Structure 1
Amino acid sequence: MHSKIPPTCALRASLTACFTWLLLSICWSVGAQSVNLKNPVLVVSPNIPLPMRETAAKVLAEEIGKRTDFAVKTQTAWPKAGTPVIALVMASDTELNGKRVPAKRGADSPEFKKEGYRVVSEISGKENITWIIGADARGILFGSGWLLRNLRMDKNLLQLDEKADFASSPDYPIRGHQLGYRTTANTYDAWSVAQFDQYIRELAIFGTNAIEGIPFQEGQAPSPHFKIPSAEMRIRMSEICQAYDMDYWLWTPGTFDMKTEKDKRAAELQMHEDFYKKCPRLDHIFFPGGDPGDNHPSEVMPFLKELQSRLVKYHPNAKVWISLQGFSVEQIDYFYHYLETEKPTWLQGVVSGPGSPSMAETRYRLPKNYQHREYPDITHSVRCEFPVEKFDQAYALTLGRESVNPRPYAFAKIHEKYAPFTDGFVSYSDGSHDDFNKVLWSMRAWDIKKDVHQILKEYASFFFGKSTENTAASGIEALEQNWKGPLAENGGVEMTYLFWKNLEAAHPKLKNNWRWQMLVHRAYYDQYTRLRLIYEQELEKQANEILNSANVQTIEKSMELALKTVNKGDTEPIARDIRKHLDDLSDALYITIGYQTSTAKHKPKSPERGVVMDFVDYPLNNRWWLTDEFERIRKITDPDQQLAELKKIVTWENPGPGSYYDDISSVSKGPRVKTISDDATDVAWWDNGKSRKRLSSQLFQREPELDYENLDPQARYRIRVCGYGDALLRVDGKRLAPVLYNKEQDSFKEWIVPLSLTQDGKISVTFDGPEESELNWRKNSKISDIWLLKQ
C-alpha cells in the first residue's frame, strides 16, 4: 500500500527536484567550460633540464601543428594579454617570469613523484594559461602527452572540452617496448630514422619510458628494406631515446659456446665494448638466458660480469639483466644459489619471458634487492606465450601468428594478473601490427586500473581525431570480439565489417593513416574469411554426399565430381570486391609503413612474419587433402577397398548414430573438449604454412580432456585417436591398454572401453603427458582428432 503525498508536499518536492536539476546543470556547465587554445604560445621554464626543455616544446608544437595548421611559437617571455598560453614548468618552480605557478599540493601529490605531472587550466580575465607541471623531465613529457591526448584538434580548432586539473604518476617504473631493426621484423626493418623518431615519440605520449633495440644481427643477412645499415640505426635509436629521455635497452643473446669457444667469447665482448663507446645513451643490457642460446649459468654469469665491467666504462649507471628462459630445473637452482653466495651487485634483475619459470615463483625466489621485469609477447596470436583463446581454425590458418591484433580486454586482464609480481615490462614486438597493444600495456602500467574503453578513446582521439573517439574505440573492441568462438556462428563479424566500411567512407581524410589502414584491413579480412569458411565448408558437405552415393561402378566419376565441387572455392570464388580491397589496403600499408603482407610483392623475411596475404585464400575445406587422398585411392586395385577408403573420408566427422567425433582444438567441431590449448604448439606450421594435410590435423593439444554423456549402457565403445607420438589414455581415471598404437604423423591409435565404465551412461577421457622434456616443443606428442565409436 502506498501512502498519498499531500498536494503541497508534492508541489514542494517537484519544485525542489527542478531546482536541484537546474543547479546541477549550471554546475555542470561551469565545470564543463571549454578552454580555447587557438594559436597558443608555449612558454617554457629555463629550469627544465635539457634536452627535454626543447623536446617537449617541439612535440607539442609539431603535433598540434599537424592537426590544426596553427604555427605554435615557443618563447621565454609571456605574450600579450588574451593570447592562450601553454606553460611548461617544474614542480619545484614557484613562478615563471613573474607569474605564480598554481598553488602546490602536498609533497605526496603525483606531480612531486618520479615521472609525475599535473595539468591545470587557469582562466581569469584575459589570462588563459594551461600549465604542465612536471616532477622531472619525464613528467614534463608525460604531462604534454596527457594534454595532446585530451585536446580537440582540427583545422582552426584547438580546445580542451573542459577546464583541466589532472595529476598523475605511474604505478610501475618500467614501461617499454622492443623495436628491433632487423630482418625478422615485418615493418621496423623498412623504417627510416624519422619514422622511428615519430613512433618513439608517439609511444612516449602514451606513457612509454623505455625502448629496447636488437643491435647485433648474427647470422642474418641485411634486410632488403633497410634504409640505413643496422649498425648506424642502433646508434640513431640511442640518440632518439636521449632526446626523449627514454631508457635505451639492448636485447643481446649469447648463441656461441662460452665454455669452449674462447675466441668467440673474446670477440663478443670486444664487439659489445666497441658499440658501448659509440652509443650516446645506454641504460640496460638484457641477456636472454636460453632463448636463444644453450649455455649453463655457470658460464653465463662470469660472462655478464665481465660484460658489465666494460659497459660501465662508458655508461656508469647502466644495468645488466638476465632471463631464465629455457633453463632446466638444475640451471635455475644454480642461478639462485649463485645469487645467494656471490651476491652480485653488477646484476640489476631478472626478466620473465616465454619459457621462463612462472612470474610468481621468480618474484618469490628472487632476493628483494633485485628487480623483476616482464617480457610479454604482445605481438603473436598463436604459437606464443598468450595465444588467443578459442581462436577459430580459419583465423589460425589465415591470419596466423602476426596479424593486426588489437586485444584490449584480453591484454588488460593478462597485465593485471602478472604485473604485481614485477617492476614493469618491456614487451616483445616484431612489427607495428600490435600497435594498440603497446599503448594498452603502457597506459595500464601507468595506471593499472585505468578504464580500457577510455584508453581506446584516447588512442582514437589522438590518432584519428576527437570526432572519431567513440566510434573508432567501439570498432576496435568489435575487432577483438571477432576472434571469440566459432567464426561461422559469429554474425558480429559482418556487423563489424559494415561498421568499419561505413567509418572508412565517412572519414576519407584518414585514408593514408597507417593505423586506420590496419584496422580497416582486419575488418575486411575477418569478413572475407567468414564468408569463405561458410561457403567452402558447405562445398565439402556436398562433396561428401557425392562420395557417400558412390558404388563400384561410379568410384572414379564420384571422386571427379566431388573434387570439382570442393574446388569451387578456387574456380568460383566469392566476395571478390572484398578481396580486391584487401589487396589495395595491403599495398597501401606497404607504402605508408613498409608492412610486408605479401611475399610476391613485399619481400618479407618469411611467410610466418605477418604475411597474411599469402594465406588470404588458403583452403578452408579439405580440398587439397582430398586431391591427395584420391590419388592414393586410385592406386588401390580392389574396388571394394577403394569404397571403404571413400567411406572413411565421408564418415571422418560424421561417424554415425551413437558415435561421436571431436576436432580437438577446433572451437566449432570439438563440443566435448573441456581443455583450451594454451601451449606454444596449438597450430602446426608445416610447409611454410601451406600444408596439404587435413585441416583437423593442423590443430592439436597434448593432454585434452573430454566428457561424454547419454551413452548406451549396453553398447561396446571403442576410442580412436589421430595424432603424432604418444597418447597415454585414461577413461574415468583408469589407464587403458591400446589395441592399435601407431606413432607416426596422422596415424591412429585405438582402445576398447570396458563395459563396466560405460554402464552409468557417461565417461571422462583424459591423457597423461609423456615425458618429453628433452625434445624441442615442435616434436612433442600431439592429439588432433578423437572418436568414440559405438560398435
Structure 2
Amino acid sequence: MTKLPLLLIAFFSAFMSLAKPIDLTKARIYTSISDKQVLLRSIEMLQEEVKKRTQVTWEVTDKLPTTATPLVVIALEKDVALLPTAWQKEVQKLSTISAEGFKLVTIPASQAVLIVGKDARGVLYGVGRLLRKLAMYPQKITIEEGVQLATSPRYPVRGHQLGYRPKTNAYDAFSVAQFDQYIRELALFGANSIELVPPRTDDDVKSGHMKLPAMDMIREQSRICKEYGLDVWMWYPNMGSNYTHPDSIQIELDERHKVFSAIPKLDHVFVPGGDPGDLEPDIMFAWLQKMSVVLKKYHPKAKIWVSPQVFKPSKKWFDSFFAQVNRGYPWFGGVVFGPWVKMPVPEIRRITKASIPIRHYPDITHNYSSQYPVPHWDLVFAQTLGRESINPRPHDEKTIHNALDEYGVGSISYSEGTNDDVNKFVWSDQDWNPETPVIETLRDYARLFVGMDYQETVAQGLISLENTFRGPLLTNESVERTLMQWQSMEQKASLAVLQNPRFQMGLIRAYYDAYTRRRLLYETELEQQAKDALRGAVKGNSLAAIQQAKTTLERAWKVPILPQYRQKCVDLADSLFKSIGAQLTVERHGAVSGRGNFVDNIDLPLNDSPWLLDELGKIEKLNNEAERQQKIDQLLHRTDPGAGGFYDHFGAPESWHRVVSDVSWEKDPGSLQSPRVSFGVGIVGEEWVDEIRATGFKGQVTPRAWMKQVKTLYEEPLKIAYNELDPKATYRMRISYTGRFRSRMKLTTDDGALIHDFFQTGEEPLFEFDVPQKSTADGKVTFIWTCGEGGQGPQVTEIWLMKK
C-alpha cells in the first residue's frame, strides 16, 4: 500500500518528461474583447515583453482560425461562451475565480493557450502569469502542456511605494520609461497599487539625478498607473509648521490643490501620524477633514488613510487616535500598520471597528534600525552593507508577511529604491497567495528577468545571498560557496546577462560579501597578533611593544588583500549607476549618505584597530614605564570580570541565551513583544544611526562591542537572566549603555530590588552598581529594564558581574 503513491508519482514524472511543450513561436493573439478599458495595455505588454526576449512579434487577429494553429486567446469569463465548445469545457473544469482573478489553460490539441480574466485586472494578471511561465529564447517560445490554473488574489491591496525623491537610492534617477517598465514588471507579479510621494516631504525637492521636476514625474507615474489600470496611492506627511492657525492651514490647502489637481488618477492618500509630521490626533483629524474637501474636488472617490506612526507615543495619544478612527468619517479609508507603530496589529484589529480596513506598510528595504531588521545580523555586515544594501531576503519576507497578513487587506511596501527589488516580487506573490513557495517566485523572477537558462541558478543564488546574512560572518563558510555559485554563472554568461542589472545586483553582493569575510579573517588575526605583541610589554619595553602592535594593525590597509575583488565591486557599482541609477557611493554616484551607499564602506576596519590605536596613542604619551604597562594590561583585560565573575556582550550570539524572550521571531518579526539586536554607539543630542562607526559619546573612539546591543521597543521590558551564580557571593555590576537612542531607563531585579532608578543614558557609557545579596541568594537573578511611557525602549550592551 505504501508503494502505490510512489509508483504513481514515478509514472506521472515519466509521463511529464515525455510530454512535448506547445510551440508558440509562430502564435498569434486573439481576443474577443473590444472594450479598450478592459484591455488597456495588456496586449501591448504581452507583445513587447515577448519580443524583447525572443525577437518574435506576436500579431493580433480578430478571427479564430478553423484549424489548429498556435494561438494565445484572451477573454473575459463572461464571454467564454463565445469560444469553441471544447475550450469552454476545459475552462469550466477549473475552480471559480473572483475579482482580479484569472484562469490560464493550455489546449495541446489546438496548440492554444487561454487567458480568461474575471475583469480587466484579471486579464492583466493572466498575461503576467503567462509571461512568467513561458520558455523564451531567441526565435523560440514554448509552454508546458499541462498548465491548468485558476487563481484569485487573497488580498485586494498589493503594491509598492516608488517615491521620486533624493533620499531614495535609485528612483530619483529613473526616466519616465524606466518607471513605466518597473511598474509593468511589478504588475506582472500581481501588484495592483503604486504609492507616490509628493514633492515636499522630509527631503529635498530635487536632486542632480532627476530627469524631470518632481511634480512632472509624479504626474507621469500617475498616468502610467492609469494606463495599466492600477490604483494610485500617495504618501503625504504633514510637513507644515502649524495645523491650527488659519494662515498656515491655507498654505497647506493651497499646496494640496496644486498637487491633487496635477495628477490624472489618485485613489487613496496615506497620511502618517508621524515620521515625519507628528501631530496630536484631534488636530490631525481636524486637518484631514479640511484636506478631504480638496481631495474630493479633484478625485471624488478617493479616501484618506492614517497610521498611528509616531516616535514617542503615549496611551493618551493612542486613545485619542483610535477614538477618531472609529468615528466613521465619510472620507476615511482605513488604518495603516507600518514602521514606528508600537501597537501590535492584532491589537489594532481588536480596538478598531470591524468595518474599517487595515493596510500593511512593511519596511522591506532596510536591514537594521527598521520595522523588520535582519535577525541577529552580524556587526560586520551592519557596518559595511549598512541599512540599505542590496538585500534579497526571500524567506524572511515570506515569514514576516505570513505572520501578520491575516489582520489586513494587503500591503503597499515601504521602499527606498532598487536595493529591495527581489523582496518586492516575493511580497507581491505572497499578497496574491500566501501559500506560494518562495522558490516558485524566484524561479519566475530569474526566468523572466535574467533568462531561461538561469531560472534555477539565479534562484538558488539569491537564496544563498540570504543565507550569508545568517549567523556570525567569521564562521560562515557559505559566503565563499555563494561567490563560487555566482562566479560560475558569470563565467558562462553572455554579454547581455553580464550587463543585466538584476544579475549584477546579485553578483556585486556575492563579491562584496566574500571580500568582506576574507578581510574579517585577515584583520581578526592581525588584531590577535597585535595583542600578543602588547602582552610582551610586561617584559619592560612597552614602547617597543606598542610600536610592534601598531605596525601589525596598520598592515590591514598598508598590505591589503584581494584588491581584484574590491575593484570588481567598484566596477559593478559604476555599471549599476549607468543602467538603473543605483547610487552605491556618495562621491562617484551622488548617493545621499546612509541611503544605499554601501560601497563607500568597503574599506572600513573590521577589527578593533580604531579603538586600539587611539588607546595606544594615549599610552605612548605617558612618561612612566610602570604606568604604561598598567594601562596596557587594562586594555588587554577590558572584558575580564575577574575570578568567578561573568562577562556578556549582548550583541554577540554567545550571550543571547541570557536574554529572556517568550515570543519567537517567526511570530513577532517586528519585535514589538520580544527583544532584538540593535546597532549604533550613540551620539549626544542625536537619535539617528544610518552608518555605524567607532565614534560616539562626544566623538571618542570606542570599542567595537559598543556598536551592537540588545534592546526592546517602547514599554516592553528587557529581561536578562543569570543562573549558576555563587549563592554566597556578593556581586558588583558594571554595565555599558550604548545604542541608537538616549533611553530613560530603570533597572530592577525579579525579586523587586532596585538597582538604579530612571535616568537618561547617552551622556556616558559605563555605570557600576551593587547587586543586593538577597537577589542572588538562590544562585540566579533576572535583571529587568523598563522605560517610561513614551520612551523608545531600553538597550543594554555589556554586563560584568564581578565578585566583591
TM-score, normalized by length of structure 1?
Answer: 0.90
The letter for the 1-side match of 2:246 is K
The letter for the 1-side match of 2:627 is Q
From 777, 783, 786, the equivalent of 1:766 is 783
SS in 2 for 1:599: coil
Match of 1:719?
A: 733
From 487, 491, 503, the equivalent of 2:473 is 487
1:63-105 deviations in whole A, cap 9, x for unaligned?
1111111122123234584541111111111355888852386
Q: Aligned pair in 2 of structure 1 residues 687, 551: CA closer, same or farther (>3 Å)?
A: farther
From 417, 424, 430, the equivalent of 1:438 is 424
**Matches for 1:690-701 after TM superposition, within 5 Å:** 690-692=693-695, 693-701=702-710
SS in 2 for 1:38: coil
Mapped partners of 1:25, 1:601: distance in 2: 53
The letter for the 2-side match of 1:359 is V
SS in 2 for 1:602: coil
Are the equivalent residues in 2 in contact too, given 1:389–1:678 (CA < 8 A)? no
Q: Aligned pair in 2 of structure 1 residues 708, 639: CA closer, same or farther (>3 Å)?
A: farther
- Matching of residue 454 in structure 1 with residue 472 in structure 2: no
Are the equivalent residues in 2 in contact too, given 1:697–1:746 (CA < 8 A)? no
Instruction: Report the alpha carbon displacement of residue 145 of structure 1 after superposing the two structures with TM.
Output: 0.7
From 519, 524, 528, the equivalent of 2:506 is 519
SS in 2 for 1:597: coil
Mapped partners of 2:676, 2:486: distance in 1: 33
Match of 1:748?
A: 766
**Matches for 1:268-283 after TM superposition, within 5 Å:** 268-283=252-267
Match of 2:801?
A: 788
Mapped partners of 1:259, 1:659: distance in 2: 57
Could you tell me which runs of 5 or more consecutive residues in structure 1 were left unpaired when the two chains were aligned: 1-12
- Matching of residue 398 in structure 1 with residue 384 in structure 2: yes
From 55, 58, 68, the equivalent of 1:69 is 55
Mapped partners of 2:588, 2:415: distance in 1: 23
The more displaced of 532-541 and 99-108 is 99-108
Are the equivalent residues in 1 in contact too, given 2:376–2:677 (CA < 8 A)? no
Match of 1:154?
A: 137
- Matching of residue 189 in structure 1 with residue 172 in structure 2: yes
SS in 1 for 2:300: coil
- Matching of residue 735 in structure 1 with residue 753 in structure 2: yes
Match of 1:683?
A: 680
- Matching of residue 661 in structure 1 with residue 674 in structure 2: no
Mapped partners of 2:184, 2:355: distance in 1: 32
Are the equivalent residues in 2 in contact too, given 1:52–1:244 (CA < 8 A)? no
Mapped partners of 2:325, 2:352: distance in 1: 9
Match of 1:9?
A: none
Q: How many residues are aligned here?
A: 765
Mapped partners of 2:797, 2:398: distance in 1: 31
Q: Aligned pair in 2 of structure 1 residues 270, 596: CA closer, same or farther (>3 Å)?
A: same
SS in 2 for 1:379: coil
- Matching of residue 60 in structure 1 with residue 46 in structure 2: yes
Match of 1:346?
A: 331
SS in 1 for 2:301: coil
**Matches for 1:613-624 after TM superposition, within 5 Å:** 613-624=599-610
Instruction: Report the alpha carbon displacement of residue 19 of structure 1 after superposing the two structures with TM.
Output: 10
Q: Aligned pair in 2 of structure 1 residues 556, 765: CA closer, same or farther (>3 Å)?
A: farther
Q: Aligned pair in 2 of structure 1 residues 293, 738: CA closer, same or farther (>3 Å)?
A: closer
From 314, 332, 336, the equivalent of 2:298 is 314
The letter for the 2-side match of 1:86 is V
Match of 1:242?
A: 226
Are the equivalent residues in 2 in contact too, given 1:381–1:402 (CA < 8 A)? yes
The letter for the 1-side match of 2:428 is S
Q: Aligned pair in 2 of structure 1 residues 22, 546: CA closer, same or farther (>3 Å)?
A: closer
Mapped partners of 1:105, 1:21: distance in 2: 26
The letter for the 2-side match of 1:517 is Q
From 561, 568, 577, the equivalent of 2:548 is 561
Mapped partners of 2:506, 2:638: distance in 1: 38
Q: Aligned pair in 2 of structure 1 residues 345, 686: CA closer, same or farther (>3 Å)?
A: closer
Q: Aligned pair in 2 of structure 1 residues 753, 542: CA closer, same or farther (>3 Å)?
A: farther
Percent of aligned pairs with the same residue? 34
Instruction: Report the alpha carbon displacement of residue 496 of structure 1 after superposing the two structures with TM.
Output: 1.1
Mapped partners of 1:690, 1:42: distance in 2: 58
The letter for the 2-side match of 1:179 is L
CA RMSD of aligned residues (A): 3.0
The letter for the 1-side match of 2:549 is A
1:732-770 deviations in whole A, cap 9, x for unaligned?
54535479x99554532223445565566x434423213
**Matches for 1:589-604 after TM superposition, within 5 Å:** 589-604=576-591
Are the equivalent residues in 1 in contact too, given 2:745–2:760 (CA < 8 A)? no
1:154-178 deviations in whole A, cap 9, x for unaligned?
1122111233221100000000100
Match of 2:275?
A: 291
Mapped partners of 1:514, 1:424: distance in 2: 29
SS in 1 for 2:787: coil
Match of 1:228?
A: 212
Are the equivalent residues in 2 in contact too, given 1:728–1:735 (CA < 8 A)? no
1:251-285 deviations in whole A, cap 9, x for unaligned?
00112244444323212212212222222111111
Q: Aligned pair in 2 of structure 1 residues 790, 571: CA closer, same or farther (>3 Å)?
A: farther
Match of 2:667?
A: none
The letter for the 1-side match of 2:561 is I
Mapped partners of 2:471, 2:104: distance in 1: 43
Q: Aligned pair in 2 of structure 1 residues 543, 736: CA closer, same or farther (>3 Å)?
A: farther
The letter for the 1-side match of 2:167 is T
SS in 2 for 1:601: coil
SS in 1 for 2:89: coil
TM-score, normalized by length of structure 2?
Answer: 0.89
Match of 1:652?
A: 638
Match of 2:103?
A: 118
1:166-193 deviations in whole A, cap 9, x for unaligned?
1100000000100000010000000000
**Matches for 1:94-105 after TM superposition, within 5 Å:** 94-95=80-81, 102-103=88-89
Mapped partners of 2:532, 2:241: distance in 1: 59
Are the equivalent residues in 1 in contact too, given 2:710–2:795 (CA < 8 A)? yes
Are the equivalent residues in 2 in contact too, given 1:662–1:673 (CA < 8 A)? no
Instruction: Report the alpha carbon displacement of residue 109 of structure 1 after superposing the two structures with TM.
Output: 4.0
The more displaced of 666-675 and 459-468 is 666-675
Mapped partners of 2:484, 2:61: distance in 1: 48
Match of 2:484?
A: 498
Instruction: Report the alpha carbon displacement of residue 557 of structure 1 after superposing the two structures with TM.
Output: 2.2
The letter for the 1-side match of 2:448 is F
SS in 2 for 1:720: strand
Instruction: Report the alpha carbon displacement of residue 661 of structure 1 after superposing the two structures with TM.
Output: 2.5
Are the equivalent residues in 2 in contact too, given 1:257–1:294 (CA < 8 A)? no
**Matches for 1:387-426 after TM superposition, within 5 Å:** 387-426=373-412
Mapped partners of 1:144, 1:328: distance in 2: 48
SS in 1 for 2:404: helix
Mapped partners of 2:331, 2:421: distance in 1: 34
1:35-55 deviations in whole A, cap 9, x for unaligned?
1111221112234x4245251
